A and B are shown apart, each in its own frame.
Chain A
Amino acid sequence: MALIKKTVSAPPEEHRHSARDLSGLLEQLRSDKPDIRRWAALDLSEHSEAAEILCRCLEEEQNMAVRDALFTSLIRINNNAAVKGLIPLLKSEDAALRNGVIEALRQMPDALAPYMQDMLHDPDSDVRIFTVNVLESLCHPMTPEWLLGVIEEDTHINVCATAVDLLAEVGSPEMIASIDALPGRFANDPFLRFAADIAIRRIRGANPN
């Protein structure tokens, strides 16, 4: 029979030699071999003090697999420095990078919460949209309140449209009046009316009255 059984072959040597302490890993993060940078990025998940450097690497890293690893470690580290380093990247021109940031921030509810008000009031409407995107699956109990604030105050239609979409899932009955009033603030835009009606129906479904 052709099938053979072997003990698991030993891992390639190169990685064994290199140190996995902080300074060794930071050194490897600057290697010109993507594979070495990738393993170093992943191993740095055990060093929370590396968060700031990992964020800085994100801006320059062109290899998608390494970039992915940097994000993975930052999500695992999940501290204030990680959040602080990631938020400015929402302004990046690179859509893939931005979306990586959104996904990462979604998984850091507690570290992110203190920054939420500032982000929701950023002068750039794109940043506000991305912030609402973060709220889509942020496990933070304040989320419905934040979204309510957006649909009551934000002056950009797409920021509000993104928020009302989420309220269909997490809104509660006392928010219905605000949701209902939203399309009126934007000349009764047909899409916004549709989105508001859906949200209201979903919320009513939860509490028939």
Chain B
Amino acid sequence: MKQILVIDDAATVRLYVRQVLEAEGFYVDEATNGLEGLEKALSHHFDLVLCDVNMPVMDGYTTVTKFRQERTLAHIPIVMISTEAKKKDANRAFAAGANDYLVKPVNPDKLILEVRMLTGEG
């Protein structure tokens, strides 16, 4: 079973992503900010990370940068999910090392497709 980590400070978003992806047979774990996400990823294996941009303690861009600097995490695909729809935000996400960038509110079908593609499922 592919393991997904969703990092977002909004409880409803975490719950939603969990519900959508669990129904598709993914295992989902949650973190409420970037630093907590890093800690989780250092202790468990994940196949994909979904990461919000605006979060307390450690924001999304910094989080992605840190993942990329950490030897054991550098290869994990990361999709940033943000409320910011401007082009420069997407560019910044890619510059930090994200594999893709989705804009909220996330469409469930699109999310499933994205996750399947990046985890090599289906």
- Hey, which bits of chain A sit against chain B, CB under 8 A? 95-96, 98-99, 102-103, 126, 129-130, 133, 136, 157-158, 161-162, 164-165, 168-169, 189-192, 194-195, 198-199
Contacts and interface: CB of A to CB of B under 8 A. Distances in A.
Contact of A136 (B9, B19, B57, B107): B9
B61 A165 contact: no
Interface residues of B, number: 26
Given A95-B54, A136-B9, A158-B105, A194 B16 contact: yes
B12 interface: yes
Contacts of A126: 83-84
B55 A129 contact: no
B55 A99 contact: yes
Query: Binding site of A, secondary structure by majority: helix, strand, loop or mixed?
Result: helix
B42 interface: no
Nearest to A194: B16
Contacts of B53: 95
Contacts of A165: 10-13
B83 A99 contact: no
Given A126-B83, A158-B104, 18 more contacts: A95-B62, A96-B62, A99-B56, A99-B59, A102-B54, A103-B56, A103-B57, A129-B54, A129-B83, A158-B83, A162-B10, A165-B13, A191-B13, A191-B16, A192-B105, A194-B19, A195-B16, A199-B12
